[in-house]
A and B are shown apart, each in its own frame.
Chain A
Amino acid sequence: MASRISKLGKGKKEAKAKKVQVVARRKACRFCMDKKLIIDYKDAKFLQAFLSERGRIMPRRLTGNCAKHQRKITAAIKRARILALIPFTSTQLPLAL
């Protein structure tokens, strides 16, 4: 029994140590670093970098954007979707004509 408890304790400690490491590796927002970068809803290629393979918007935890710029990216992606520059979903394939 005593050995089991000690093992559990060890596992918890390791998990905690891992969490701390992830937080420390937080990326800096690329738009805050480079003020020249403009978020434009007409630039489909640029917005593609913030989409998953299925066309979903990537979360902040993966893109490393700050809250302000993530909001702007999200708004730009939604506008680009209305203009059919990028798809709403990857299942929306063009008609075979």
Chain B
Amino acid sequence: MREYEMVYILHPQMTETQISQLNAKLKGLIEKNDGRLFYAKSMGKKTLAYPIKKQTKGIYYTLDYAAKGSCVSEIERSLSLDENCLRFLTVVKADKVDIEARAAEIEAKGEAISITEEKESSTNVSDEADKEGEEEIKEE
């Protein structure tokens, strides 16, 4: 088991529900392969230094997880098949990980908040928020 860090860039026009679906899918892949997701963070919407797939902006996400090599190739495969993923990069963070110790360390740092979990529970809320936004526009 190694610890990997992965950054992926998503299409700027992806909706929040789409993004949370994708994140949940990645989380599921990691857990299916006996891996452990330490955290998933959003780095926000950024302007790309050069256009990728004709897009000038992208939504950046970082994943930190421990898994086997075969799991990494599976995740990369699913991302490369996804048309909404502009680019991804996986980096080995540590060759050997003590999963429990690392999880505790990350929790102590306060980075343990997993976006996928949060988004899953709050999807309904965000949907409602979207609807509210639409209504406001209609009213205007």
Contacts and interface: CB of A to CB of B under 8 A. Distances in A.
A88 B50 contact: yes
Contacts of B52: 84
A83 B7 contact: yes
Interface stretch (B24-32, B54-62, B96-104, B106-114): B54-62
Contact of A94 (B47, B62, B89, B91): B47
Contacts of B40: none
B129 interface: no
Interface string B30-60: 0000000000000100111111101010101
A95 B54 contact: yes
A94 B7 CA distance: 21
Contacts of B51: 94-95
Interface residues of A, number: 16
Interface residues of B, number: 18
B67 interface: no
A93 B51 CA distance: 8
Given A82-B89, A83-B89, A95-B56, A42 B62 contact: yes
Interface string A67-88: 0000000000001011111111
Nearest to A94: B56
Contacts of B56: 94-95, 97
A92 B91 contact: no
